[in-house]
Amino acid sequence: MEYRRLGSTGLKVSALSYGAWVTFGRQVGRSQARELIALAYDHGVNFFDNAETYNAGEAERLMGDVIADLHLPRDAYTVSSKVYFGASEQPKPTQRGLSRKHVFDACHQALERLRVDYLDMYFCHRADPDTPVEETVLAMDTLIRQGKVLYWGTSEWSAASIEEAHRVARERNLIAPSMEQPQYNLLHRERFEREYAPLYERYGMGTTIWSPLASGLLTGKYNDGVPDDSRLGHPDYGWLREALLEDDGARLKTVRALVPIAADLGLPLARFALAWCLKNPHVSTVILGASKTAQLAENLKALDALPLLDESVMRRIDAALPPA
């Protein structure tokens, strides 16, 4: 495993980490979750990603139980939660968003579900147009000073909103966000590479990137249809299937164009796509998703493929992707 600094912080996160969205509490039960976390940890993964909203709190509960069950030393791993969407199907007005009240309540509930005394990372899962940024920055600052959170960050905020949070923090002497959690993969690179470009140098923002395989598209498993036992075949994820596949075949066309490049390097497409994410030095950690241990075992090999992605391969990849 390689360990990277989370931006300009002193925290060293494993370049590959593991997240619970969709899988924990829906596709994966307790014994399989135990196998997956143990496999990741044994391979040097030290960051486990979660959120209040993942399966309405069940993903955090399951992860907390399994980590306790495995007796992972608290000082050897990091765990996150995210606040914004709420932890139930129909949250009441005070049970979602980034108000001081919900940021506090959600933090305490995540600590309980994850069975920890503090969250290593706490993300604002989206920007909240109904809450002044000052209120959220102050709430995060307070939680950090209370020892309940170590680092706070944003997820899919605009660069302008992140700049605003830094301005407020500077002017009021509060703790600023340390990291962003954006989507980044071969099919989705604009925001990470362009919009956020000034943030890395200016504020030392780290990144914990999500959906590195675009929910599995970048494994090639959807090239010939939607398998029944896959995420996009799941009845609860019709909205995601529509979002990713109802584009006149544009994404799958790109995936197919990448297949021969990976094949020439002797790499399975998934490993190749993950290595491409790892190649970007602004990526602090690539959050893997996996519903099966065989998938996770395969994906954990991605760092070995990194040296194969030299300049000429990167140029070939750029040429295969649609123009920005």
284 in contact with ligand NDP (CB under 6 A): no
* Catalytic pick among 54, 84, 122, 196: 54
Q: Applying CB under 6 A, which part among 69-77, 190-198, 289-297, 312-320 lies near ligand NDP?
A: 289-297
Residue 2-41 contact track with ligand NDP, rule CB under 6 A, x = bound:
-----------------xxxxx---x--------------
Q: Considering only residues 89-108, where is the footprint of ligand NDP by CB under 6 A? A: none
181 in contact with ligand NDP (CB under 6 A): yes
206 in contact with ligand NDP (CB under 6 A): no
Q: CA torsion 79→84→88→89, rounded to 10°?
A: -130
Q: Tell me which amino acid residue 241 is.
A: R
57 in contact with ligand NDP (CB under 6 A): no
67 in contact with ligand NDP (CB under 6 A): no
Residue 35-54 contact track with ligand NDP, rule CB under 6 A, x = bound:
--------------x-----
214 in contact with ligand NDP (CB under 6 A): yes
298 in contact with ligand NDP (CB under 6 A): yes
64 in contact with ligand NDP (CB under 6 A): no
**Residue nearer to ligand NDP on the CB measure, 210 or 276:** 210
Instruction: Please state, as a whole number, how many other Cβ atoms lie within 10 Å of the Cβ of residue 88.
Output: 13
What string of H, E and C letters represents the secondary structure of the chain?
A: CCEEECCCCCCEEECEEEECCCCECCCECHHHHHHHHHHHHHCCCCEEECCCCHHHHHHHHHHHHHHHHCCCCHHHCEEEEEECCCCCCCCCHHHCCCCHHHHHHHHHHHHHHHCCCCEEEEEECCCCCCCCHHHHHHHHHHHHHCCCEEEEEECCCCHHHHHHHHHHHHHHCCCCCCEECCECECCECHHHHHHCHHHHHHHCCEEEEECCCHHHHHHCCCCCCCCCCCHHHCHHHHHHHHHHHCCCCHHHHHHHHHHHHHHHCCCCHHHHHHHHHHHCCCCCEEEECCCCHHHHHHHCCHHHHHHHCCHHHHHHHHHHCCCC
207 in contact with ligand NDP (CB under 6 A): no
Q: Shortest Cβ distance from residue 287 to ligand NDP (Å)?
A: 4
**Residue nearer to ligand NDP on the CB measure, 203 or 272:** 272
Residue 115-134 contact track with ligand NDP, rule CB under 6 A, x = bound:
----------x---------
User: Strand 78-83 and strand 179-180: pairing?
Assistant: unpaired
60 in contact with ligand NDP (CB under 6 A): no
Residue 246-275 contact track with ligand NDP, rule CB under 6 A, x = bound:
------------------------x-----
- Give CA angle at 160 (158, 164), nearest 5°: 120
User: Of the candidates 4, 113, 166, 221, which one interacts with ligand NDP according to CB under 6 A?
Assistant: 221
Q: How many residues bind ligand NDP (CB under 6 A)?
A: 31
User: Of the candidates 46, 131, 284, 295, which one interacts with ligand NDP according to CB under 6 A?
Assistant: 295
Please state, in angstroms and rounded to a whole number, the distance separating the CA atoms of residues 294 and 32.
Answer: 11
Concerning whether 196 is annotated as a catalytic residue, the answer is no
Contacts with ligand NDP, residue ranges (CB under 6 A)? 19-23, 27, 49, 125, 155-156, 181, 210-216, 219, 221, 230-231, 270, 287-291, 295, 298-299
The catalytic site residues sit at 54
